[in-house]
Amino acid sequence: MAHLKTLPLCAALLFAAACSQPGVKASQPVAVETQGQQPAAAATDLEAEAEAQARAQAQAALPKQPLTPDILFKFLVAEVAGQRGEMGVAQATYLDLARQTQDPRIARRAVEVSMFARDQAGALEAARLWAAAEPASERAQQTLAALLLNEGRLDEAEPILRILLQENTANGFLHLSALMGKLRDTRAAQELVERLAADHPTLPEARFAVAQAAAAAGRPEAALAALQQADELRPGWEPAALLRAQILAKTSGPDALAFMRDFLARHPAAREVRLAYARALVNASQFTEARAEFTRLTGDFPRNAEVSFAAGLLSLQMGDVEVARDLLTQTLEYNPRDPDMVHYYLGQVAEQMKQPEVAAAHYVEVTTGNYLVPARARQAALLARAGRLDEARALLAFTHGENDAQNVRLIQAQAELLRENKDHAAALDVLSAGLKRFPDSADLLYDRAMVAEKLDKLDMLEADLRRVIVLRPDDAQAYNALGYTLADRTDRLAEA
C-alpha cells in the first residue's frame, strides 16, 4: 500500500498552528528555509533585514486563518490517513480544508495529495483554489495550467499560459514542451504554441517552442522552418542546432552528421553540439572521427566521466591501449555512473598489455550489472590459462547471477572453459546439469548439441536442436546445424 510522505506529527502540529500565528513561515519545512543560508557570523545586518522583510511580506500576503478545533482536527485526520496509506481519506479531507480555509498552503497540499492519489478532478479543483488564493504565485499558475492541459482543456489553459509567458517569456517558452508533453492531440498542442508564439515574433525561444511542438506533431518540415527562423534570430544557438540534428537524424543519419559538421565549422566552441556529433559518429561506426572528437571534448568537458570513457573505449578499439588505459583510469576518478563497466574495460586493456594480474584485479571489482558474467568469464579464463582450471571452474560455479539469464550465461561460460580444454565429457555434464535448472533454455540446448556432436552423441544432438527450433522457430543457426549434421553424419540426406 502506498503511503504519503509527511512531516513528523510535531511538525504537522506546528504547520497547523502557524495558520493563526504571524511571523512563522509555515509554507516550507525548516530544512528548505535554512538551505544555503550564510553562517550567522558572516551575515550582514542589511542581509538580515532584507530577509526579515521578505518573510514579513510573504506572511502578510497569506490569509489570517484562525486555528479552530475543526481545522486542527481535519488537518490531523488528513496527515494520519496519509501516513496509513488511506489516500482517499487524506485527499478528501485536504480538499475539504482547502475549500473551507481558502489558504494557499493547504490548497497546495491538497493538490499534492490528490495527484499522489491519482485523483485528477480533485487535483484540478485544488489547483484552482490555490491559484485563486495566491494569484501572484508562478508555481500555482503553472500547476493549474499543467493540470488543465492534462485534461485537454486548452482553451482554459491558454490565458493562464499567456500571463505566465508575459512574466517569464524566454524561460517560459523553453519549458512549454514539458507542459505539452502529455497532450494526446499533438496537432492541437502545436496550434496552441503557435498562437502563443505569435505574440513574440522576434524571440528565438518562441520559434524553438514552435519547432518542438511541430516535431511532436509529426511535422518535421514545419519544425525545421521554425528552427531556421530561430537561427536567424540567434545564430549559433546550440539548443536549436541540437533539435535540428535530432529531427534530421530520424530520416537521414548522414544529413544530421553533415549539418553538425557544418555547424561546428562555423561555431567551433559549441561543445554540446560537438558532444552530440561525437555520439552520432559512434552510432555511424565512424570510429576514427569519433575518437578525434571525444579526445577534443576531454578538454572541453574536464573531469567528465562520459567523455573520458568514450575516448578511452574508442582508443581501445583502435589498439591504442596505453592511451585507453590512461583515459579509463581517469574515468574512475570522475565518479562514473557505472564503475563496474569501467573496470571491465580496464581489465580488457590489461589483457592486451599482457598484464594478467592487473586484468584479474579489475575483473574482481566488477560485482554487479551487465558486466558481471563477462568479467567472471575472463577471470576464469585467466586462471585456466595459468593452469588453475579447478579454481576457474569453482569461480564460475559459485558466482550467483542477478537473474536467470545471467545464471544461464555462467553455465555456458563454465562449459566453454571445459571445451577449450578439450574436456567435452565434463562440458556435457555441466550443460546437462544446467538444463535440469533451466529446461527451456534454448542457449543451453544448443551448446549441449554442439558438445554432443564432439562426443558422437547424434541422437542427443538431434533432440536438442529440434527442441531449440520449437523454442525459437526463427533460429537459422539451429536449422543449419541440424541440416548439416543430418547430411554429413547420417544417411538421411533427403531429410536434411
Cβ atoms within 10 A of the Cβ of 157, count? Answer: 22
How buried is 279 (Cβ within 10 angstroms: 0-12 exposed, 13-18 middle, 19+ buried)? middle
Q: 20-29, 186-195, 254-263, 305-314: which has the minimum mean pLDDT? A: 20-29
Kindly report the average pLDDT of the chain as a whole number: 86
Give this prediction's pTM.
0.75
Domain limits, the chain: 1-29+53-136, 440-496
Residue 213: pLDDT over 90: yes
pLDDT of residue 50: 54
Residue 237 CB: number of other CB atoms within 10 A? 19
Q: Cell numbers 498562437 label which residue? A: 195
In this structure, what DSSP letter does residue 42 have? G
Say which amino acid occupies 218: G
Q: Which of 179, 99, 180 is nearest to 133 (CA)?
A: 99
Count of beta carbons in the 10 Å neighbourhood of residue 57: 9
- Using one digit for the tens of pLDDT, what is the confidence trace for 422-456? 999 999 999 999 999 999 999 999 999 999 999 99
- pLDDT of 324-360, one tens digit each? 999 999 999 999 999 999 999 999 999 999 999 999 9
Per-residue pLDDT band at 2 (split at 50, 70, 90): low
CA distance linking residue 305 with residue 332, whole number of Å: 8
Q: Which residues of 292-393 form beta strands (DSSP E)?
A: none
Rounded CA separation 442/127 (Å): 55
C-alpha span between 210 and 193 (Å, rounded): 6
| 202 close to 233: Cβ distance less than 8 angstroms | yes
How far is residue 430's CA from residue 411's CA, in Å, rounded to a whole number? 7
Residue 1 has a CB neighbour count (10 Å cut-off) of 6
Q: Are 488 and 481 in contact (CB under 8 A)?
A: no
Task: Return d(Cα 492, Cα 496) in angstroms, integer.
Answer: 6
Radius of gyration of the chain (CA): 32
pLDDT for 69 beyond 80: no
Q: Which residues of 132-152 are buried (b: 16+ CB within 10 A; e: fewer)?
A: ebbeebeebbbbbbbbbbbbe
Q: How many CB atoms lie within 10 A of CB 243?
A: 21
Sequence-ordered list of residues with C-beta below 8 angstroms from that of 64, at least 6 positions apart, any chain: 20, 22
Contacts with 72 (C-beta within 8 Å, 6 or more apart), sequence order: 16
**pLDDT tens sequence across 140-149:** 999 999 999 9
DSSP E strand stretches across 348-485: none
Grid coordinates given for 352: 592486451
- Binning pLDDT at 50, 70 and 90, where does residue 396 land? very high
Tell me: the pLDDT tens digits for 173-188?
A: 998 888 887 788 999 9
- In angstroms, rounded to a whole number, what is the distance separating the alpha carbons of residues 256 and 486? 50
- Given a cut of 50, whether residue 6 has pLDDT beyond it is no
